[in-house]
Chain A
Amino acid sequence: MADAKTSPGISVRNLYKIFGKNPEQYVDMVKGGMTKAELNEQYGHVLGLKDINIEMPAGGIQVVMGLSGSGKSTLIRHINRLIDPTAGEVVVGGDDVCKMSPGQLREFRRHETAMVFQKFALLPHRTVMDNTVYGLEVQGISRAEQVERAQRWIDRVGLTGFEKSYPNQLSGGMQQRVGLARALTNDAPILLMDEAFSALDPLIRMDMQSVLLDLQKEIRKTVVFITHDLDEALRLGDKIAILRDGKIVQQGTGQEIVLNPADDYISNFVKEVNRGRVILVETIMKPLSGDPEGMGIATGTTLEEAAKTMTDGNVAMAHVIDAAGKPVGSLDIHDVIAAMVTPVAHEKAMAAE
C-alpha cells in the first residue's frame, strides 16, 4: 500500500513534443519561435507541447486547464510516458521518467502511478469488478485482496450492485466512475486524471470532488488533474497551469490567476468565475487602524464565507486574524461584497499582492 511512501513531486522541464514523421528535425525551429500554425502549414507536423516547465507540488493537486486541443492530454501522458517527449525531461521524485528502461517503466507505472482516462478506456469484455481490479491483477496481488480493495472503491463511487455489469450496459457517467474506481483501487502515490469528472452530472461531480479532497486529507497523493471547468479547478487545485496551443500561458494559485489574468485568453476563462469562492479575506483586508473591531475571521477564509458569517453575526466590520490568533487587518462588509461582484482593477489587485 502507498501509505508508507510519501508522494513525490513532479517537475516537467523544457518539454517539447512534436507529432509527425521527423519531429527532432523541427525542435530547433520551434525553439526559435515558430508557431503551431506555421509548423503545421509549412512542414505538416503538429506542435503538441512547447517549452513546458511546471513544478508540480508533492502531495498536492496540480490542475491543468486549457481549451480543446491545447495539449492537456498530451502533457499528462508524458508523466507516465505513454508519450515520449521530443525534447526535455519529466522528473518524478528524482528519476527522469524518459530515461527509464522498459522494465523500470513498467514497475513505475505499476506502483507509482494510476490514471483515469478522458475516454474511459475500459476493457469491454470485462465486468465492472474485473475492470476495477486490473491494476492489482497486473501487479500479481491475490484475487481475494484484489476484490476486497476494489469493492471499497466501487462502493465509494456509487456503483454498488453493478459489479457484474459490462461497460456497454452502463451510462457514460457510470463508465467514468468505473475508470475512477480502477485508478483509486491501485492506490498509487501519483494520480493522473484526464478530465476524470467531465461525464458526471453536477451532483455526482461534487461528490467525486469531495472524495478526492477527503482522500487528500488522509493520504496526500500527487494529483495531476485536467479539467475544462474553472470552478472545479479552483475548488481542487493547489496550483493551476493554463495551456494554450501547447504553451503555458500562466500558472499559479487559483487566486493569483483570477486576480491577475495574464492576458485576454485567461480573462475570458476567469470572467464567469464565482469570485466569492476564490478570493480570500487577506487579499482585500485593509491595514488595521486602531483596535480590531467586530468579530475575528481567520486568514484563508473565502469572501463568500466571510460575508455569510458577517451578515449572520449582523456586523458591518470585522478583523482578520492569522493562524496564531493575532489580528492582521480589518474587513468592511462593503468591501467584501464589492470584491465579490466587481472585478478588482488590475493595479489595485497588484497592490494587494
Chain B
Amino acid sequence: MEWLYEFPSMNGASLRALKKAIDEGFRSFTRAYGEYFELFFEPLKHFLIYSEDFMTDTPWPIILIIIAAIAWLASRDIRIVIGSIVTLLLIGYFDMWEDTMKTISMIFVCTVLAIVIGIPIGIIMSRSDRVQAVINPILDVMQTMPSFVYLIPVVMLLGIGKVPGLIAVVIYAIPPIIRLTNLGIRLVDKDVLEAADAFGSSNWQRLKNVQMPLALPTIMAGINQTIMMALAMVVVASMIGVQGLGQPVLRAITNQYFTLGVFNGLAIVGIAIIFDRTSQAFGKRLQKHQEVVHG
C-alpha cells in the first residue's frame, strides 16, 4: 500500500540525468551560438543606449517640456499635463531624476519593441483561427510563468545587462498588445468591412482603411496594459542589471532601507499614473467617433 502514500515518481537517478542532459544541451547551445545572439541584439543595445543617453543628458527643463507636450497632445486634458509636471518636479526634488529618466527610457524602448513585434503578430492571429489556436496558449504561458524562470535562459544566452533585461520585460509585457490587436480586428463591424469589400478594397486597403482604424482604440488599451506590465517588471529586471528606479528598490530590500524603498516605489507609481492617464485619454479620443451610431 506504500504507493498510495508516496507518489510513484520517476526514480531520482534518471530524473537527475534528464535535467542534466537538458542543461548540458542548452549550455553547449549557448556556447556555440551565444555570440550570434549578442550580435543579433546589437542594434537593440544601441537603441537602448541612445535613448538612455538622450533622457539623461538632456537638461531637465527640456525633458519636462517634452513630456508635458506629449501629455497634452495625447490627452488634450490640462489636468493630466499639470499632474505630470508636478509628479516629475517632486521626483526631481527628491533626487530621483536620473533613475527615473533611465526607467522611462527603458519603458519607452520596451513599448516600441512590443508594438513593433506585437501588432503584426496580432494581425496575423486575427486572420486565421488556426494561428489563434496556436498562439493563445503560448501567450498564456508567457503571462503565467514566473518571470524569474525565463530570466534564466535569457541570462545564460546573453549574460547580465540591459539587453537581457529588456528581452525579459518585453516577453512579460507583450501579450496584451497581441491579444487586443487580434480582438480589436475581430470585432470590427462586419457591415463596414463588407462595404469596403464592395468597393473593391485590396487586403492591404481593408487593413489600412478599416480594420486598423476601427481596432485602434482596442489596440490602445493593449498598449496601455503593456506599459503598466513593463513598469511592474522594473524591479525584477534590475536584478539582471537594468538600471533605473529598480536598483535602489533592490538595494533597499537587501539593506532594509525603508525610506529609500518607499521613495523609489512611489516614483514608479508616479510615472505609472502619468503613462496610464495619458494613454487612456488618448485611447478615449480615438474612440470619439465610434460611439454607437444612431439612426
Contact = CB atoms under 8 A, between A and B. Distances in A.
Whether both chains belong to one complex is answered with: yes
Interface of A: 80, 82, 106-111, 113-115, 117, 119-125, 134-135, 137-139, 166-168, 170-176, 186, 192, 199
Given A124-B289, A125-B289, A170 B295 contact: yes
A122 B294 CA distance: 12
Given A122-B192, A123-B192, A173-B295, A82 B198 contact: yes
B201 A138 contact: yes
A135 B194 CA distance: 13
Nearest to A117: B195
Contacts of B192: 121-124
Interface string B251-295: 000000000000000000000000000000000000001111111
Contact of B200 (A120, A121, A122, A138): A138
A168 B293 contact: yes
Contact of A124 (B198, B200, B214): B214
Given A121-B191, A121-B194, A186-B199, A199 B289 contact: no
B198 A115 contact: yes
Interface string B173-214: 000000000000000010110111111111001000110011
Contacts of A123: 192, 195-196, 209-210, 213
A110 B198 CA distance: 8
Contact of B199 (A109, A122, A166, A176): A109
A117 B293 contact: no
Given A125-B214, A125-B289, A172 B294 contact: yes
Given A121-B194, A124-B192, 6 more contacts: A123-B209, A137-B209, A139-B200, A168-B291, A175-B293, A199-B295
A339 B194 CA distance: 46
A135 B199 contact: yes
A135 B205 CA distance: 11
| Chain A to chain B: the 4 pairs with minimum beta-carbon distance, closest first | A172-B295, A110-B200, A109-B200, A121-B195
Contact of A166 (B201, B209, B289): B289
Interface in B214-243: 214
A171 B293 CA distance: 9
Contacts of B289: 124-125, 166-168
Given A123-B210, A166-B289, A168-B289, A109 B294 contact: no
Contacts of A110: 199-200
Contacts of A117: 191, 194-195, 198
Nearest to B194: A82
8 contacts: A109-B197, A121-B189, A124-B214, A167-B289, A167-B293, A168-B291, A168-B294, A172-B294
Nearest to A106: B200
A153 B192 CA distance: 21
B210 to A, nearest CB: 7
Nearest to A109: B200
Contacts of A192: 198
A120 B195 CA distance: 9
Contacts of B195: 115, 117, 121-123
A173 B194 CA distance: 21
Nearest to B192: A121
A82 B199 CA distance: 11
Q: Which of A80, A119, A120, A192 has the most CB of B within 10 A?
A: A119
A121 B290 CA distance: 13
Contacts of B294: 168, 171-172
A110 B213 CA distance: 22
A310 B38 CA distance: 97
Q: Which of A115, A125, A135 has the most CB of B within 10 A?
A: A125
Contacts of A125: 213-214, 289-290
Nearest to B195: A121
Contacts of A82: 194, 197-198
A150 B293 CA distance: 23
Contacts of B199: 109-110, 114-115, 134-135, 138, 186
Contacts of B209: 123, 134, 137
A72 to B, nearest CB: 16
B205 to A, nearest CB: 6
B248 to A, nearest CB: 44
A115 B200 CA distance: 11
A199 B295 CA distance: 8
B198 A106 contact: no
Given A117-B194, A173-B295, A124 B290 contact: yes
A113 B199 CA distance: 8
Nearest to A110: B200
A102 B202 CA distance: 9
A120 B194 contact: no
Contacts of B295: 120, 170-176, 199
Contacts of A114: 198-199
A141 to B, nearest CB: 12
Given A117-B195, A121-B194, A124-B214, A106 B293 contact: no
A161 B27 CA distance: 70
